[in-house]
Amino acid sequence: MKQKRILVIRPDRVGDVVLATPLLRELRKSFPDSFIAVMVRPHTKDILLNNPNIDEIIIDDFEGEHKGWRGFWKQVFKLRKYKFNIALHLLPTQRHAWMTFFAGIKTRVNVGIRLYSVLTFMKYVSRNNYIPLRHEADYSLDLGRKIGVKSSNIEPEIYLTHECIFE
């Protein structure tokens, strides 16, 4: 069986990235031999440092060095080099939908249906029955469940180094 090469995209705020950590852990448990990378903004990358459940942190600075069409294509070619076969879009954006489409990532899962997700042939997880009291981490796990994750463990995890604790 071909190795799963999974890209999790969470290009937003600190709290949302923290609440994506249960998905990362459960992906690793479900697919222990997979390659798992996360694409985040520069200001949230430190949350994922030392996380044993991921193999790579990819920065998407779409207000800085990856701005505009040139930056977009630079990221597309970078993603192609990783040979991802699954992309989980925890925050749906048109930029990332097209980016993963042009990078040739075969299985792409988005939250909800949008015109660009239809045009790029994405699978989706519906939030039509949105429950305000349901935990955001559980909504993130829904995308993992779409590719075979069975867990409901929504405990977030942040890994600190000895230096972080005693500075």
pLDDT digits (tens, 9 = 90+) for 129-156: 777 778 889 989 999 999 999 998 999 9
User: 131 or 69: which carries more pLDDT confidence?
Assistant: 69
- Residue 162: the pLDDT is 66
- pTM metric for this prediction: 0.92
Residue 35, both tokens: 């390659």
According to the model, what pLDDT value does residue 165 have?
A: 56
> What is the end-to-end Cα distance of the chain in Å, rounded?
45
Q: Is the pLDDT of residue 96 over 60?
A: yes
Per-residue pLDDT averaged across 7-12, rounded?
96
DSSP result, the chain: -PPPEEEEE--S-HHHHHTTHHHHHHHHHHSTTSEEEEEE-GGGGGGGTT-TT-SEEEE--TTTTT-HHHHHHHHHHHHHHHT-SEEEESS--HHHHHHHHHTT-SEEEEES--HHHHHTT-EEE--TT--TTS-HHHHHHHHHHHTT-------------HHHHH-
Percent over 70 (pLDDT), the chain:
95
